[in-house]
Chain A
Amino acid sequence: MARKSPLEVYKMLPGDNCGECGEETCMAFASKLIDRDAKIEDCPRLKGKKKEKLIEYLTPPVREVKIGDRTIGGEEVIYRHELTYFNPTAYFVAISDNDPSLEERARKVKSFVMERFKTDLKFDGIAIRNKSGDPEIFKEAVEKVMEIEMPMILCSFNPEVIERALEVSSQKRPLIYGAIDENLEEMCALATNYECPLAVISSDLRKLWELSTIATGSGVPSIVLDPVTDSLNMRGTLNRIVEIRHQAIEKRADPFRWPILGVPAASWLVEGNGYWEEAVTAAILQNRFVDAMILNTIETWAILPLLTLRQNIYTDPRFPARVEPGVREIGSPNDESPVLLTTNFALTYYAVEGDVEGKLDCYIIVADTEGLAVEPSIAGGKLRASDVAEIIKENKLEERVKHKKLIIPGAAARMRGDLEDSTGWEVLVGPKDSSGIVDFVEKHWKK
């Protein structure tokens, strides 16, 4: 599937260059549309057939689906370097309806938060399992979960149970999980009548294709595909997921143009499996296009690496790669450890970090150069002495070290005077390449 072209979009726009959309030209607006930075509705002059055509053109190959207020799907590419991934995988935690500590567990899920690089890593919702088999118990459990206000998945294959829950919760747009061959007609009727998304489930791709087609054909507004997370057959699982996503993106094959759901929680079906195996299953799926997942675990040691992986994979490769400005501690520095300066271009920073990690206990000041490496940021005036002084002050570096010495990159030598003036620190010009830092410190620091 060829990438969308701004020129194609431009051809479908009025071509008036009137600026009413907030862009100066239709062409500029076309680029924004492709990047999803603007909405079709922003151009008031676009109407009728042309508008419909453009909507069709711009609908991503994997349609977006909303579960509660959480959007999943909407992807356009197989590999992130081809453009970017858009909607991070949504993590739902499974809770059984007859769990006596249901409310406590639900609140834990809601309040779980880990901060990484100024971003909060969190769960996205709760999947309620009808373990009791009882419609009333299920309904009550759903009502309790509704109180904590998170997107929900209703898990039961019994249409009666689902209907009882939908009567109280349909306005929250929960995902109905789900439709299998045996209950397809009833589940489709429920999803259609209550206007909720429906998961269709099968480990047989042709069957899944058929279920999806019948569901949309009978009026279900949106679909989520579960090709079965089979812990005894992970290769089969991956084959199905990869196939679905290629059908959607490369062939625009309609029945598979929906988000994919993975269920690492199902790995507990295999005897002897626990949190570790579940996390491993989740990590495999996180690397293969899965748009939403259901897990049992809320163990921090298991969740932290998974949510970190999600954060990494969904980082937009179109923007210059940056790290957070500020002060980093490498190893366990003390009040005599050296202080280094670098920029917040991610690869520059990681290079420096990699060169000192394990060899040198130190502090690294990461200056905000808008994601530029050292040389271009000096040339472009993006490495500012005043910013460096600010970071030193904000992070109370003068209290954390006894000395007032700063080692700067060799490529930043001409900033020396400016830096000494703004910070009041003595500035040492370090090596041109960060691989020489350790040697440099050995020779020049301790004397």
Chain B
Amino acid sequence: MKKEEMRIPKLVIDALDWLEDLKDVEEIELENVTIDVKNGIIEISAPTLLPAMIEREEIMKPEIKIPEYVPFSHEWPNSIEEIQLGATKEEGGTRKKIFRIGGETGMPFYPGSEMKNRPLVTFDVFDMPPPLPKAIREHFEDVMEDPVAWARRGLELGANLVTIHLVSTDPRTMNRAPEEAAETVRELLDNIDVPIVIGGSGNPEKDPLVLEACARTAKGERCILASATLDIDYERIAKAAIENNHVVLAWTSIDINQQKELNRKLLNLGLRRDQLVMDPTTAVLGYGIEYTISVMQRMRLEGLRGDKEISFPMSSGTTNAWGAREAWMKREDWGDRMLRGPLWETITGITMLLCGVDLFMMLHPRSVQTLQNVIDQLSKIAEKGVEYENWVTM
């Protein structure tokens, strides 16, 4: 209401009537009221009432009730298994550094769910120079013949662990014997002090034999044996892990039931719960990553809800990102591939991180460093933030 309309109408009262009424009134209190007598008409006005009325008018503006704010609580009955990687001298290994992964009590980086163990990056090293995109090759050209030097470079660049891919054991490449591969592994263990992941060549017949030989050589070191799948001799790999105290990477192809089946089979063979990490397959950004997103989220949710068959830490072959042509192909209209490639790997990694992955197999230095940064940033709430509103005028 505007001020003009609010003015109290003057009371114009026929003097006679007024006096008549007064007869019945014993007492009349006149406060801040002026009485004018003009031309026989008495005017009464109360100017001081005005401010008081306006104030009340403002208070009476339609009240907006703010509903009570009750924070959402994320609570889960189960937690994810915690797995130790590497073993110290006292524990039967020779590692100076050991790590733990898993142990989550909630969805990744959700309010209230603290990451008990920081997710880790393991650096991909090959036992013979593989064909790699230029953006990666330029960082390692001088060490690609020497797995130990390559591993050291990876650790210097910010990785936590090293994965040795024994691709030379493939009958289609050099067909190296399992014992030869085991020597490579031993040499690596003797020269670096972090835990390692031992990877085969992907040959279904040869891999179990290679992993078995390496497991023996690395007895007690709690390496990750990568990988057991349903269609190879997983029994041999599981037994090698049990006898020599290692961890098995259980690899399935984007299928929660398949993963449960493999986990169950491995556990039934006597593998302990703290010896299993899952790899549900990282489909690449642009080529099916949404399947991986959904399968990983379902696995983690079901694990937290109480399904013990699936409540294990997850690993991601983030390096797969380089399989996307968008990552490596030289094309003017796609922009600088020396940036596009590492960003492709980085974003694949970030996406997996936010789905709950605990261990990242990665290749490019910049991707490794960026992901490590993101993990650090997301691990704690910062005290001081940006002067946000300035972005509009910066």
In the complex, residue of chain B having the shortest beta-carbon distance to the beta carbon of A277: B370
Write out, one digit per residue, whether chain A residues 190-208 have a CB within 8 A of any chain B CB (1) or not (0). Answer: 0000000000010101100
Q: Report yes or no: B334 in contact with A304, Cβ–Cβ below 8 A.
A: yes
| Stretch in contact with the other chain, from B24-32, B93-101, B264-272, B285-293 | B285-293
Asked if A213 is at the interface of the complex by the 8 Å CB criterion, the answer is yes
Which of B41-100 touch A at CB < 8 Å? 62, 64-67, 69-72, 74
On chain B, the residues within 8 Å of A79 by CB distance are 294, 297-298, 301
- Nearest Cβ distance between residue A158 and chain B, in whole angstroms? 10
Question: Is the Cβ of B343 less than 8 Å from the Cβ of A213?
Answer: no
A270: interface (CB < 8 Å): yes
* Chain A residues, Cβ within 8 Å of B347: 279-280, 283, 305-306, 309
| Cβ-closest chain A residue relative to B295 | A81
Per-residue contact bits, chain B 246-265, to A (CB 8 Å; 1 contact, 0 not): 00000001100000000000
Size category of the A interface is: 35 or more
What is the bound-complex CA distance between A438 and B203, given in angstroms? 11
Interchain CB contact under 8 A, A301 and B335: yes
| A312 CB within 8 Å of chain B | yes
Query: What's the nearest-Cβ distance from chain B to residue A443, in Å?
Result: 11
Question: Which residues of A have CB within 8 Å of B67?
Answer: 209, 213, 253-255
**Cross-interface CB contact of A233 among B254, B297, B381, cutoff 8 Å:** B381
CA distance A336 to B283 in the complex (A): 29
Contact yes or no, B340 A243, CB < 8 A = no
Partner of B385, one of A217, A233, A305, A321: A233
Specify which of A130, A268, A305 lies most central, judged by the most chain B CB atoms within 10 Å of its CB: A305
Find out whether the CB atom of B335 lies under 8 angstroms from the CB atom of A209. no
- Whether B155 sits at the interface, judged by CB under 8 Å, is no
Per-residue interface assignment for chain A, residues 232 to 262, with 1 indicating a CB less than 8 Å from any chain B CB and 0 otherwise: 1111101100110011001101110000000
Question: Contact size class for B?
Answer: 35 or more
Are A305 and B326 in contact (CB-based, < 8 A)? yes
Q: In angstroms, how far is the closest chain A Cβ from the Cβ of B393? A: 5
Residue of A nearest to B327 (CB): A305
The segment from A19-27, A52-60, A347-355, A389-397 found at the interface with B is A347-355
For residue A284, CB closer than 8 A to chain B, the reply is: yes
Q: How far is the CB of A326 from chain B (nearest CB, A)?
A: 15
Binds A, one of B1-9, B179-187, B371-379: B371-379
> Would A129 and B393 be within 8 Å (CB), given that A228-B388, A239-B381, A309-B289 are in contact?
yes
- Does B128 sit within 8 A of A, measured CB to CB? no
| A416 interface residue per 8 A CB criterion | no
Cα(A210)–Cα(B347), bound, Å: 35
In the bound complex, do residue A350 and residue B340 qualify as a contact, i.e. CB atoms below 8 Å apart? no
How far apart are A289's CB and chain B's nearest CB, in angstroms?
Answer: 11
Give A305 Cβ to nearest chain B Cβ, in Å. Answer: 5
Residue of B nearest to A269 (CB): B386
* CB closest residue in chain A, given B366: A276
Report B334-367 residues with CB < 8 Å from chain A CB. Answer: 334-337, 339-340, 343-344, 346-347, 350-351, 354-355
A321-B72 Cα distance, complex, nearest whole Å: 34
A235–B379 touching, CB < 8 Å: yes
Measured between beta carbons, the chain B residues less than 8 angstroms from A50 are none
Tell me whether A263 is interfacial, beta carbon within 8 Å. yes
Complex Cα gap A309–B286 (Å) = 7
Q: Contact flags (1/0) for A273-286 with B, using CB distance below 8 Å?
A: 00010011001100
CA distance A157 to B387 in the complex (A): 14
Please pick, from B285, B334, B374, B385, the residue contacting A236 in the complex, using a CB distance under 8 A. Answer: B385
A250 contacts across to B, CB distance below 8 A: 72
Q: Take A213-B66, A438-B172 as given contacts and tell me if A283 and B336 are in contact as well, using a CB distance cutoff of 8 Å.
A: no
A and B contact pairs by CB, cutoff 8 A, 6 listed: A213-B66, A233-B382, A235-B109, A239-B110, A301-B336, A347-B288
Other A-B pairs beyond A235-B377, A266-B386, A269-B390, 17, CB < 8 Å: A206-B69, A217-B62, A217-B65, A228-B385, A232-B386, A234-B374, A236-B382, A239-B110, A242-B110, A243-B111, A280-B374, A283-B347, A300-B334, A301-B335, A301-B336, A305-B285, A311-B286
